[in-house]
Amino acid sequence: MQNQPSKRNRISSLAIVEDDSRVREYLAQHIRERVDVDELYEFSNAEDALQALSVNPPEMALFDIQLPGMTGIECIRKLKLLHPRIQVMILTVFDNSDTVFEALKAGASSYILKNTSPEKLAESIYELHEGGSPISSQIARKVIEAFQVKSTSNEHFRSLSRREQE
């Protein structure tokens, strides 16, 4: 039995930027089945996506990070300068903290790992569309830990005498 798209707010246009054709087709199929979207665009590289989406910006875009040529993060940075209202979701296997923070600084509002179920991905797309910032739990943990480490080191620094700080 095929799933029907949710009866939530319709998404006018969504772009998928993914170089692996099998993954891109899989994502497109599951998004069509589970998300109420009028137009779904597919791109295999950042250069083609940037060229097309600069002229015809989608409401939302899903980006892989590791793409041939320009990275997804660099494309997001350029696209957000032109069209800051585009909602961007990272959909990737990369879970290291530096990559996460670089993507968020570039303009991504969401960071989802590719091992996410199709149902959870659809839910995350709607959450982003409705103003949320869905993040895979493993990524949320890394963000929290990064702030906790920084906070702890700042507290330690403040506890030192002025001479020790120098």
Q: Any residues with CB less than 8 A from the CB of 151 and at least 6 apart, and which?
A: none
Can you name the residues that pair with 135 across neighbouring β-strands?
111
In this predicted structure, what is the pLDDT of residue 1?
Answer: 43
Q: Is residue 61 part of a domain?
A: yes
Q: Is residue 146 part of a domain?
A: no
Q: Is residue 159 part of a domain?
A: no
Measured between alpha carbons, how far is 139 from 94 in angstroms, rounded to an integer?
10
Question: Residue ranges of the chain with pLDDT lower than 50?
Answer: 1-2
Q: Is residue 150 part of a domain?
A: no
**Prediction pTM value:** 0.84
Q: Is residue 104 part of a domain?
A: yes
Domain count, the chain: 1
In this predicted structure, what is the pLDDT of residue 75?
Answer: 98
In terms of residue numbers, what domain contains 111? 11-135
- CATH code of 44's domain: 3.40.50.2300
Q: Is residue 29 part of a domain?
A: yes
Q: Is residue 152 part of a domain?
A: no
Measured between alpha carbons, how far is 101 from 61 in angstroms, rounded to an integer?
18
